[in-house]
Structures are given as structure tokens and as C-alpha cells.
Amino acid sequence: MKIRDSLVITVALTATIAGAACSSAGDVTAEPDAGSTTPPPPPPPPPEVCSLQSCATGCCSGTTCESGNEVEACGGASTACVNCNARGTYGVCTNQVCDVDEASRWDLLILDASLPIHNLENQNWDPGGLPDAHVTVMIETATPGTFTTRDTTTVNDSITPKWNELVFSNVTARQLEVISFKMMDTDGNADDKIGFCAATLGFAEFDGQTNSVTCPRSSANGNSEFTIRYQVRPH
């Protein structure tokens, strides 16, 4: 072999080895810095709070501001929304206030009463001592401005008479907005007045629960004080 050929082969081998070394060096991946970390994501923002500032003209259902004009979400001034039908299906929302549907149908029961031991003149009610009480109940008819009455039976010789009597059935809520009670002491043909007063019913009274009204003593009106209990039940 000639010297020139040996030199060529040597140069070629040297170039091949150098190229391989460069290629290997280029394939090396740098190790990550063990001291570096990825920062955690920021915490989520707190839930929006329903308040007077964010819900001045509606009501709050949890964190949501509602219009306050729906039957199931009624209210205003950022108060908690009220379901007007929570006790039945007769509620309406009027001007952001729960009310009873005037066309809904109801029954009126007179339960019992309590009277003082003596009459307005501080005397016995009857020669026997105790009154024989009955109640005349008056409500408006289906025609506004006209009225109808019903009477309970008479409970003799008692200042705690009990009736549990249905006096009106299947009447509208509008007819029951004002109920008048006139209690009399039955004495043959000459009944004596015990007292008279009226109860104005709101949404809370249309719940089937027991309500009461106390008619105050008034010498000027000839009223002895008495308390009467009644119920307004869905028909």
C-alpha cells in the first residue's frame, strides 16, 4: 500500500469518528434542575354573595338574586325568597309579597270560646250563673257589599263553650277577608248580647291551623270581653 493511500484512509476514519462524536453530543438531553417547581394554580374566587348591594330590588335564593315576583320565589330588598305555596297551592305573589288567591275555596269552623265569669255589670249572666252562648258569624257573599250569616248551636251554662262546628263551606278567600263574630247569651225570646267584634284575615291565617281573636271589653258598646277560636281550612 502506498503512503498516500494510507493517509487518505486515516483522514477518512478521523472524520467519521469526529462526526459520530458530534452526533452523540447533540442527542444528549439536559437534566432538569432539581430545585425548580411549578407554582400552584390560584384559588377559585369566593362565591358571589346575594346582598342588599347586589340584589336591592329582588330576593335572595341562596347566592342567586331572583326578581321576587314568582310564587315560589317571592320577596324584595334582598330578603330570603319565600315560597308562597309552601303550605298548599293557593298562594300568589303580589308586589313581592305572598298573599292568598282570592278565588281559592275554604271552609270556616268555629271551635270554642272563653268568657269572663261575670257579665259587663259584674253580675251573673243568668239566674243559674253561667251563660248559654251561641255565635252568629257574618261574612261577605259572592256579591261584594252584601253579607250572609250563620249561627252555631247553643252551649248551655258554660264560660268555655265548645262547638267544633262548620259554619261556612266552599266559600272564597275573598269572602273570608273579614269575619264578624257576635256572641249572644240565649235567654228564650230575649237574648242578651255578650259582645261583637271582627277579625281581618291575612295570608298567615289561611293555613288550616287554629286562629283566635279577642273581642275587647267596652262599656260604651255593651261588649264583654271574650276570645273565640276558629279555623280556616282548604275546602
Mean pLDDT in residue range 103-123: 94
Question: Could you read off the pLDDT of 135-158 as tens digits, one per residue?
Answer: 999 999 999 899 999 999 999 999
Query: Which of 68-77, 97-106, 117-126, 223-232 bottoms out in mean pLDDT, i.e. has the lowest?
Result: 117-126
Mean pLDDT in the chain? 85
For the chain, which domains are there? Answer: 59-100 (no CATH), 105-234 (2.60.40.150)
- Residue 77 has a CB neighbour count (10 Å cut-off) of 13
Could you count the other beta carbons within 10 Å of the beta carbon of residue 196? 18
Pick from 93, 96, 100, 133: nearest CA to 114: 133
Percent of the chain whose predicted confidence (pLDDT) is above 70: 83
Residue-wise pLDDT tens digits, 17-38: 445 444 444 454 555 555 667 8
pLDDT at res. 128 = 74
How confident is the model over 37-68, as pLDDT tens digits? 788 888 876 667 888 788 999 999 988 999 99
Q: What is the pTM of this model?
A: 0.74
Above 50 in pLDDT, residue 194? yes
Q: Which three cell numbers stand for residue 135?
A: 255565635
Share of the chain above pLDDT 90, in %: 62
**Greater pLDDT, 10 or 166:** 166
pLDDT of residue 1: 47
